[in-house]
Amino acid sequence: MPDIAVSTGLLAAARQVASPNCDERPPGNGPELVVIHGISLPPGEYGGPWIDRLFTNALPAAAHPYFATMHHLVVSSHALIARDGCITQYVPFHCRAWHAGRSHWRGRGNCNDFSVGIELEGSDDEAYDERQYQALAGLLLALQQAYPLLADGWIAGHSDIAPGRKTDPGPAFDWKRLERDLRAGGARFRREVLA
């Protein structure tokens, strides 16, 4: 299981790429929800430097036609799990990453204030890799052990907190598999799907 240093909010086993797109959480808001995202840049393509570039405000608009529509975005996530299961961390877990956008969860808005965002390199309609599920379960277990409010096990997809606006991680993501993996490792899993 990965180790998180609570004092720094950093995952020891992760490649670290610091994003400037983060800030302090509002007073009284610790991480209590994990939001699972799916991302590929360009869409449907994996590997390359583009996700790092997006989260560090260095995505070149001319490198791909799709980038011209999004290079101006100022966004981040706490971590990315690549197709091979390797983890890159962009924002310390105790800080606020800018991953959720307009969002609501259990009657609360602004999910960035109280959530951890984890990106999976993938797309809505292509199966995620076995190594990603293994890395995700290990990371979630480490988060639940490091942050008391996350020990409740609340996990949502981006589509759950921004229905109608976001679809990721998509129907290809196996929620039942994640639940089995977490429970087998002694972690909790709670998910509330919005109708």
Please report the domains of the chain, with CATH numbers, ordered by start residue.
4-184 (3.40.80.10)
Among 82, 90, 189, residue whose Cα is nearest residue 140: 189
Based on DSSP, count helices (H) and strands (E) in the chain, helices before strands. 4, 12
Q: What is the pLDDT of residue 1?
A: 65
| Angstrom distance (rounded) from CA 174 to CA 180 | 10
Among 157, 181, 175, residue whose Cα is nearest residue 39: 157
pLDDT digits (tens), the chain, 195 positions? 679 999 999 999 999 999 999 999 999 999 999 999 999 999 999 999 999 999 999 999 999 999 999 999 999 999 999 999 999 999 999 999 999 999 999 999 999 999 999 999 999 999 999 999 999 999 999 999 999 999 999 999 999 999 999 999 999 999 999 999 999 999 999 998 764
45 in active site: no
| Angstrom distance (rounded) from CA 59 to CA 55 | 8
Predicted structure pTM score: 0.97
Q: Which residues of 90-127 are buried (b: 16+ CB within 10 A; e: fewer)?
A: bbbbbbbbbbbeebebeeeebbbbbbbbbbbbbbbeee
One-letter-per-residue 3-state SS of 18-72: CCCCEECCCCCCCCCEEEEEEECCCCCCCCCCHHHHHHCCCCCHHHCHHHHHCCC
Could you say which of 32, 119, 121, 179 is catalytic?
Answer: 119
